[in-house]
Amino acid sequence: MKCPACGYENLAGSDACENCGTSLTQEDVPQAGTKIERSLMEDPVECLQPIRPLTVDTQTSLQDAIQLMRNHGIGCVLITSNDGKLTGILTERDLLQKVAGQGLDLGHCRVGDFMSQAPESSKPEHPLGFALQRMIFCDIRYLPIVDDNHRPAGIVSSRDVIGYMAKQFQTADEFPAATQSL
């Protein structure tokens, strides 16, 4: 690794330059080069203005959970334990993959039997890039936002992230090279 101060070629993984003593640890940390990159690395998830989540317990009927989702125009409900902590999520995808076409009596089926357990989540102060990475890597559309006690504090969707980033692109002075030729 080359020292940024004196140009001395150090062994990979060195913490400090052997020649001048300059710290080399910052060389491994990605640096934002554009407004978009800064936004992903520095803007907190709470800038997406998470909406208040719909919550139910594991004993709620599928019929009631589906009606709640329809009434509020949202594609998921969060499942909480007796102490209010996030334990699961029931999404439109869960309903399509686990319920649709099964001929079930939705009034007698419990959310706890069809929810996705231990869902990915984020805290409000996590960087936007963290939320986006979790959503892409885990192939999820909804990311619960939890407080320090793992209680639901909000929820963001992939649409929220896309909308926020679209606004960032509109106000950015620079665009990635790939989009400049379009």
pLDDT tens per residue across span 113-127: 999 999 999 999 999
pTM: 0.76
Q: What is the DSSP string of 66-91?
A: HHHHHHHT-SEEEEE-TTS-EEEEEE
Average pLDDT over residues 129-136: 91
Rg (CA), the chain: 22
pLDDT tens per residue across span 2-48: 888 888 888 877 888 888 888 887 655 566 677 778 888 889 999 99
- Residue 145, pLDDT above cutoff 90: yes
Average pLDDT over residues 78-102: 96
Give the whole-angstrom CA distance, residue 75 versus residue 142.
8
CA distances to 32, 56, 111, 131, 164 from 160, in Å: 22, 23, 26, 11, 6
Question: In the prediction, which pLDDT does 176 show?
Answer: 53
Tally the C-alpha atoms within 13 A of residue 91's C-alpha that lie toward its C-beta. 16
Are 50 and 156 within 8 A, CB to CB?
A: yes
Strands (DSSP E) along the chain, which ranges? 55-57, 76-80, 86-91, 116-117, 142-146, 152-157
Average pLDDT over residues 128-148: 93
